[in-house]
A = this chain, B = another copy of it.
Amino acid sequence: LNEFEIIDQFFLRKSYSKPGWVKVGIGDDGAVLAAHEDNDLVVATDTLVSGIHFWEESSPVNIGYKSLAVSLSDLAAMGADPDWVLLNLVIREADSQWLENFASGFFELADRFDVQLVGGDTTCGPLSITVTAGGWVPKEGAITRAGAKSGDLVFVSGTLGDAALGLEVEPERMANLPSLSRIHRPEPRIRLGQELRTIASAAIDVSDGLASDLTHLARASGGMGAVVDERLIPFSDNACSLKPRDELLLLALSGGDDYELCFTANPSREKAIVRLSGQVGIPITRIGMISETPGFWLIGSGGKCKQYLGGGYQHQWAPDV
């Protein structure tokens, strides 16, 4: 059983007793709740476990930064304006130096987005961190995974595969290759997400590889599929200098931890998206299209279309960690 099967089998309930109130429940980047006559509340949560999502010996500054970044990335994918955050910290021991560094990384990012730490829990145990973030969208303004239509174009922000490639590169070399340090310090695409509210038909953050995440988006949008032209997938110059394109492609499709936004839009919005890319200073690349045929399809270098069955990145399901 993988994460999605567990949710489906044990935790997903088809009906809510308060249907109007939960606007989006389990199965999107965040939940959307009716809260205010003008705004909806978006909440998202992620747990990072030592040995699975980061190395126990990683810099606590980076662990603090990343533990907040991944939840903010979920809010970005919903188009939400982040506002408050809860921090649940499970630590083996109360090491002051570690805690101070963890807090400095956490607050560095919190301060940039003016997010307030309003509560949490601290307990002892094997190192893991849960961050729950809350934010707001204008009423009915949240971007979900479910709005894509057949014929919508598929876009992605930034470059893909850098984080997965970073996992393969020795730490000393990585220090000289900033784009590969994204494994430690992903950038939540908050402003981009907010601007996409009125442009995108659906969005998701790319955390488990493009193939897996875009398939989720397409499936959530009424059982659609996606066709991606592999020649259009954007890679960083650093990545291209380290690996041939076909290897980078696998990292982008099935690697993890990119935390870029993948979104869809009606073709009529393409010019607005080009303009937006300039406004927010983030490259945005059109990579494909939503289709009525389910599944994830790749147009290869020869122009032929094949189904990609490689699946997504699963943080290792280890019997003992």
A123-B26 in contact given A86-B31, A317-B94 (Cβ < 8 Å)? no
A122 touches B90 (CB 8 A): no
Residues of B within 8 A of A16 (CB): 116
> Is A120's CB within 8 Å of the partner chain B?
yes
| A125-B48 Cα distance, complex, nearest whole Å | 9
A96-B1 in contact given A33-B118, A119-B26 (Cβ < 8 Å)? yes
A26 touches B96 (CB 8 A): no
| A41-B40 Cα distance, complex, nearest whole Å | 12
Q: Which of A21, A84, A119 has the most chain B CB atoms closer than 10 A to its own CB?
A: A119
B124 touches A30 (CB 8 A): no
B52 touches A114 (CB 8 A): no
Residues 124-176 of A contacting B (Cβ, < 8 Å): 124-126, 128, 130, 132, 134
**A59 CB to closest chain B CB, in angstroms?**
16
Interface size class of A (residues with CB under 8 A): 35 or more
- One complex includes copies of this chain to the number of 2
Residues 51-87 of A contacting B (Cβ, < 8 Å): 51-53, 83-84, 86-87
A125-B49 in contact given A1-B96, A35-B35, A130-B130 (Cβ < 8 Å)? yes
A119 touches B25 (CB 8 A): yes
Residues 284-321 of A contacting B (Cβ, < 8 Å): 315-321
> Is A229's CB within 8 Å of the partner chain B?
no
Stretch from A7-15, A237-245, A248-256 at the B interface: A7-15
B124 touches A318 (CB 8 A): yes
The residue of chain B having its C-beta at the shortest distance from the C-beta of A23 within the complex is B118
Residues of B within 8 A of A123 (CB): 3, 47, 49, 52-53, 315
| A284-B123 Cα distance, complex, nearest whole Å | 31
A41-B35 in contact given A26-B120, A126-B125 (Cβ < 8 Å)? yes
A93 touches B317 (CB 8 A): yes
**A88 interface neighbour in B9, B35, B45, B83, Cβ under 8 Å:** B45
Q: State the A residues within 8 Å of B (CB).
A: 1-3, 5-7, 9-11, 13, 16-18, 21-22, 25-26, 28, 30-31, 33, 35-37, 41, 43-47, 49-53, 83-84, 86-90, 92-94, 96, 99-100, 102-103, 107, 114, 116-126, 128, 130, 132, 134, 315-321
